[in-house]
Amino acid sequence: MNTLAQQDGEITSFLEACINRDEHAWDEFIAKYSKLIYNYIIKTLKRYNFQFQSDELEEIYNRIFAALLENDCRRLQNFRGTTEKSFTAYLREICFHNTVDFLRERRFFLDIEEVPESSSTESGYDNLELKQLQNIIGELKKELNPRHKLFFKLIFEEELPSDEVGRIMNLKLNAIHQLKFRLINKLIQIAKEKNLYRDLETFIRDL
């Protein structure tokens, strides 16, 4: 039996479910499109001869899903096609632009002489901003259940690779992606409820 996302003509209803934060729809989205997203990222990186590491590939993958969630799933709302083929083309463009943004942030397109010295911390925040950010994140973490707290600690604080997180939490790679999406989605909801989303928008986009 075909899933909703696999049926041409049903893509609009499927995306509406994603926009409405339906967890089953997002699980299906991740299962169906993760491989395509990775392929689009790798193709773009190779196009620009960027020698990437697995953690950089994961970083771009994560920011694409964060971009899809931004502003109440604005990018999904802006899709005007009606078929599976048109959506995969649209998704390819999103992947391309986010990958190029990643390369620009890494100064990949600039000569080393053109890169100005920065007095900011390595994370991109100054000391005061970093302290404020840590305080805000601490408040949000209080609202997470124990499983999400552990996952947050392993992924974002200890920065363990996905396979190690999977071993500790007995999760397969696809389940890690699903849990990470749900955690980011939960953080967004909590941040909005506490009127903290504007302060956390950049951080969440970079998760």
Closest CA to 88 of 6, 205, 25: 6
Q: How far is CA 163 from CA 57, 145, 173, 179, in A?
A: 14, 22, 7, 14
Output 190 or 135, whichever has higher pLDDT. 190
Residues of the chain with CATH 1.20.140.160: 127-205
Look up residue 112 and give its two tokens: 């080393």
Q: Return d(Cα 47, Cα 53) in angstroms, integer.
A: 16
- Sorted by sequence, the CB contacts under 8 Å of residue 170 that are 6+ apart come out as none
Look up residue 120 and give its two tokens: 């900011």
Instruction: Summarize pLDDT for 84-93 with one digit per residue, the tens.
Output: 888 998 999 9
Do the beta carbons of residue 45 and residue 53 sit within 8 Å?
Answer: no
* CATH tag, 4-114: 1.10.1740.10
* Residue 54: per-residue pLDDT: 85
CATH top-level class of 127-205: mainly alpha
Output 196 or 82, whichever has higher pLDDT. 82
Three-state secondary structure call for residue 120: coil
The answer on pLDDT for 149 being more than 70 is yes
Residues of the chain with CATH 1.10.1740.10: 4-114
Please give the single-letter amino acid code of residue 69: L
The distance of Cα 152 from the centroid of its chain, to the nearest Å, equals: 14
Name the pLDDT band for 139 (thresholds 50, 70, 90).
confident
